[in-house]
A and B are shown apart, each in its own frame.
Chain A
Amino acid sequence: MAATTTGVGARVQRLEDKRFITGRGRYTDDIERPGQLHAYFLRSPHAHARIQAIDTEAARAAPGVAAVYTGRDIKKFVPTSDDLTEEDIGGLICGWMIHSKDGSPMKGSAHPALARDTVRYVGDHVAVVVAETLRQAQDAAELIAVSYDLLEPVTDTATAQHEGQAEVHQGIARNTVFEWELGDRAATDQAFARAAHVTRLTFTNNRLVPNPMEPRAAIGEYDPGEEQFTLHTTSQNPHVARLILSAFVGLAPEHKLRVIAPDVGGGFGSKIFVYAEEVVCLWAARRLKRPVRWASERTEAFLCDAHGRDHVTTAELATDRDGTILGLRVKTVANLGAYLSTFASSVPTYLYATLLSGQYAIPAIHAEVDAVYTNTAPVDAYRGAGRPEATFVVERLVEVCARELGMDPVAFRRKNFVTSFPHQTPVIMTYDAGDYDAAMVKALEMADIAGLPERKRRSAAAGKLRGVGYSAYIEACGIAPSQAVGSLGAGVGLWESAEVRVNPTGNIEVLTGSHSHGQGHETTFAQLVCERLGVPIDTVKIVHGDTDKVQFGMGTYGSRSGAVGMSALSKALDKIVAKGRKVAGHVLEASEGDIEFKDGRFQVAGTDKALGFADMALQAYIAHKFNGSELEPGLKEGAFWDPTNFTFPAGVHICEIEIDPETGTSRIDRWTAVDDFGRVINPMIVEGQVHGGIAQGIGQALLEGARYDPSGQLVTASFMDYTMPRAGDLPDFALGLTVTDCPSNPLGMKGCGEAGAIAAPPAVVNALTDALGHEHVTMPATPEVIWRAVRHRSLPMAAE
């Protein structure tokens, strides 16, 4: 039946596209509520200051203003009335406990939705004005007088722990959240002691602003009759938001809070987290008994959305004389900003150091990570989250090491690739399946590396410098086995749920805890249903993003929706087929064991007696042919899937770049990506994910960098100052796949959402340094950086 053209592996056009291409998407800020009020947040203009006084009187008297609240107002409600208690509502939390190497727990800090006495970054939330119109709220906010007592700001990652720095949080010494380590220090020291060669690099992994095109937004509502709260919000994981808002912030009991994440315009991690504005809109909606809405301006998004990356790292690779890797040593300082965002602590630890073995058999690894507070926006997961940082460490080290040893970087990699599976790394992970050499071989051919010398000659003849850079990345996706992450400090399990409801007419609703904000779940999840049940794809509807509909789910991030979310769906579909067999057995008066299910039909083996899927569904509901004691009527099955391992997508990206030494401009001439994502549901959608990831990775390498000045002002707070990749900055991408099945889930899937962002930065920098002939390039490698790097080569003494 339809499965061949709409089933697993088919390039099915997306079912969700129609509403988006006709302007009928429904994003949070498109929703209007009767009686709604508009919230506008007054934000701190200072990076670090004590609030001496806030005078809101004039603002409260301004036209259209319903209320003005500060941190002192946001108290818990008396459960049985509209009165407030004396108790502050709970603050925002970080859901992953990290322990320092001395065994002490990480140093968390209070994170109130509205600042109580101190502001800790530019953009920190000082007060909110709620008014009839947004203009009125904005105008009134200007009438709020705040007197600040300025404190010394801390903005620099590398020096945040130094003597004499101010304390971002009073009493947290050296601004240190934790000093964590992973791996075997003694074994690594021994490896380095016997090494014939050590390559040492120091670099910064530049701070990025995720910038999904849809800015965050929230609408809080309260129904006093039902004592029911509703929050529409731009979330990648509405159930997690509900859990945190209920259990930790204490705004509403979980069963009285409905969180809806409707169409969401991209997330890339930044919409995983629970933010102050969501808390305040919900609280204010209850206080005022009217809907309260807020939408972020782009500048606010730059200031307050959680940023990504921001590491300073020293890394060393030890090899023997013939280029066999013996050990890896890494010391990283990770900037977590002013407060610990929802999953901040996991990113530079278990999502980072666990991937430091790359695709290589490395006998000994030791990583130390110090996380620091600074007076900057919170830093948390951004596409790749820890894994791009790890890949940058590994792929820069192997490239430079090969060059230092006079070896071909490809040969060096191939010599050290992990070749047998399962492979236990020294940093927790057990790689389950892969064929790293196959991806390399295919990528070399697709990139026509054989023709590179000739292309380099031609570039040189034109006065240009051409270079090629490789990145053989690995990531841990399909996040994540609950037991494993629990033992590493996660406050939640990371399974996923799915429910399949078959209606009497045979059409199907799938409820998933995954959330699509561009990934195309409404299509890919339907493709799996279509494949497994043999039903037409237009009889399948995917429901997600509403806590009143979907019972629970952990959401979408960490390339988990396919490997974890669709595995849950697969399990639920198995149950539907099993029940269908029973129903068909009763109806066809055959034993259940004799019923075969194929191509959407339940058939008595060896006969032509059969029941189509829709007929079976109808029989399940009219239930005339079986009594309820032997078989329950109805057809609805649910499943929770908890993975048994991470998945390990891996591949090779090759960047070929040309530099104009006169201007410092660079142009990526070719991009080749060969990825192993395991089984693929929809190649078209997978390619789109890879394209987008590469673009963000190239953005990090060449264009993007969030910069705070020493006073803590974000000097890159708009699209004028922060360079987003535009169409003209990017090449076409040549993509290929290799396939090794993932053994840890029923679909053999590994995940594809983050690969490009993980692979790309070192590929670009390796290409640039190949072209330049030295390693002195920092990200983002803007024309100015490259121009200086070109001069560094011609005048090495001056630049050293």
Chain B
Amino acid sequence: MAAVAMTVNGKAVSGDVDPRTLLVQYLRDTLRLTGTHVACDTSQCGACVVHLGGEAIKSCTILAVQCQGADILTIEGLANGAELHPMQAAFREHHGLQCGFCTPGMIMTAVDMVRRLGHELDDHTIREELEGNLCRCTGYHNIVKSIAAGARAMAPGAGGEPLRVAAE
């Protein structure tokens, strides 16, 4: 067993884990944050994407013990209380999800995309940037639309637009 302590969604967590435990297993099985999904065993689907120190990572590809002291954000921590994050709202508004299984990873990837590339994302850029995320349901068409709209809605001053709707 190895001791591990980190911040997840703004809360300090700590405990002992089998050193082989992947971050995604720690999140899902120990912390019971099951919004982060596992859809492959070769690090290729992106269903498991979370943010580590603000950057998107595949949580199936890092050990929990490697995240010692890190700041982790999962899909459960993205909304501001009852208020959806603009990217979450954009996925709903543009029907960017069907079964929802790839969705947490898509949204976390998209938020990171905006952080790196800004608020005006063209379709080609978005499609290239989704290289590490698989969706079997949507054919990506509406995911691309969702991300473009979400990126714009995340721009400072874009608040109050219809995208920024309350979660309730």
Residue positions of A touching B, CB distance < 8 A: 13-14, 16-27, 29-30, 32, 135, 211-215, 263-266, 268, 297-299, 517-520, 684-685, 687-689, 691-696, 718-720, 724-728, 730, 732-733, 756
Contact = CB atoms under 8 A, between A and B. Distances in A.
Contacts of A14: 92, 95
A727 B45 contact: no
Contact of A519 (B40, B98, B130): B98
Interface in B11-41: 18, 20, 28, 32-41
Nearest to B79: A22
A234 to B, nearest CB: 10
Contacts of A13: 92-93, 95
A23 B74 contact: yes
A733 B137 contact: no
Interface string B68-103: 000000111011000010001101110101111111
B104 A719 contact: no
B94 to A, nearest CB: 9
Given A14-B92, A22-B84, A519-B98, A692 B138 contact: yes
B134 A688 contact: no
Contact of A213 (B32, B42, B47, B89): B47
Contact of B137 (A17, A135, A266): A266
Which residue among A25, A30, A213, A695 has the maximum number of chain B CB atoms within 10 Å of its CB?
A: A213
Contact of A264 (B34, B99, B133): B99
A29 B95 CA distance: 25
B50 to A, nearest CB: 10
Contacts of B99: 212-214, 263-266, 517-518
**What are the nearest 9 A-B pairs in CB distance?**
A23-B35, A20-B100, A265-B101, A695-B139, A518-B99, A23-B75, A691-B139, A518-B98, A30-B34
Contacts of A693: 139
B127 A720 contact: no
Nearest to B167: A18
B114 interface: no
A719 B128 contact: no
Interface of B: 18, 20, 28, 32-42, 44-45, 47, 74-76, 78-79, 84, 88-89, 91-93, 95, 97-104, 107, 123, 126-128, 130-131, 133-144, 167
Given A695-B140, A718-B42, A724-B136, A688 B100 contact: no
A298 B42 contact: yes
Q: Which of A21, A266, A718 has the most CB of B within 10 A?
A: A21
B98 A22 contact: no
24 contacts: A20-B103, A22-B78, A23-B75, A23-B76, A27-B34, A212-B101, A213-B39, A213-B45, A213-B101, A213-B135, A214-B99, A263-B99, A264-B99, A266-B98, A266-B136, A268-B136, A688-B95, A689-B98, A691-B139, A691-B140, A692-B137, A720-B42, A726-B131, A727-B127
B100 A25 contact: yes
A17 B91 contact: yes
Contact of A22 (B76, B95, B133, B134): B76
A764 to B, nearest CB: 14
Given A25-B100, A719-B44, A724 B134 contact: yes
Contacts of B34: 23, 26-27, 29-30
A689 B98 CA distance: 9
A513 B133 CA distance: 32
B124 to A, nearest CB: 8
B37 A214 contact: yes
Contacts of B103: 20-21
Contacts of A30: 28, 34
A442 B167 CA distance: 40
A171 B97 CA distance: 49
A87 B125 CA distance: 61
B142 A21 contact: no
A22 B75 contact: yes
B155 to A, nearest CB: 20
Contacts of B40: 298, 718-719
A105 B5 CA distance: 64
- Among A30, A519, A691, A693, chain B packs the most CB atoms within 10 A around the CB of A691
Contacts of A265: 37, 39, 99-101
B165 to A, nearest CB: 9
A682 B20 CA distance: 47
Contacts of A211: 136
Given A24-B35, A213-B136, A728-B131, A17 B141 contact: no
B97 A20 contact: yes
A24 B101 CA distance: 11
Give the dominant DSSP class at A's interface.
Answer: loop
A685 B136 CA distance: 15
A730 B140 contact: yes
B101 A214 contact: yes
B30 to A, nearest CB: 11
Given A135-B18, A726-B134, A727-B126, A298 B41 contact: yes
A492 B166 CA distance: 46
B65 to A, nearest CB: 15
A689 B20 CA distance: 40
A18 B98 CA distance: 12
Contacts of B88: 21-22
Given A23-B74, A213-B134, A718 B41 contact: yes
A21 B99 CA distance: 11
Contacts of B93: 13
A263 B79 CA distance: 21
Given A21-B97, A22-B79, A728-B128, A212 B136 contact: yes
B127 A728 contact: yes
Contacts of A756: 139
A297 B38 CA distance: 9
A284 B148 CA distance: 49
Contact of A691 (B78, B92, B133, B138): B138
A265 B84 CA distance: 22
A119 B5 CA distance: 46
B101 A27 contact: yes
Given A27-B101, A298-B39, A732 B141 contact: yes
Contact of B35 (A25, A518, A718, A724): A25
Residue from B33, B39, B45 having most chain A Cβ neighbours under 10 A: B39
A518 B100 contact: yes
Contacts of B97: 17, 20-21
Given A14-B95, A21-B88, A719 B137 contact: no
B75 to A, nearest CB: 3
B130 A727 contact: yes
Given A30-B28, A520-B98, A727-B144, 9 more contacts: A19-B100, A22-B79, A23-B35, A25-B100, A211-B136, A213-B101, A213-B134, A518-B98, A730-B140
A232 to B, nearest CB: 14
Given A688-B95, A691-B142, A719-B44, A23 B136 contact: no
Nearest to A11: B95
A519 B100 CA distance: 10
A692 B137 CA distance: 5
A732 B20 contact: no
Nearest to B144: A727
B102 to A, nearest CB: 5
Nearest to A693: B139
A418 to B, nearest CB: 29
Nearest to A25: B100
A733 B101 contact: no
A730 B141 CA distance: 8
B139 A692 contact: yes
B167 A22 contact: yes
A108 to B, nearest CB: 31
Contacts of A27: 34, 37, 101
Contacts of B33: 23
Contacts of B89: 21
A484 to B, nearest CB: 30
A265 B123 CA distance: 26
A389 to B, nearest CB: 20
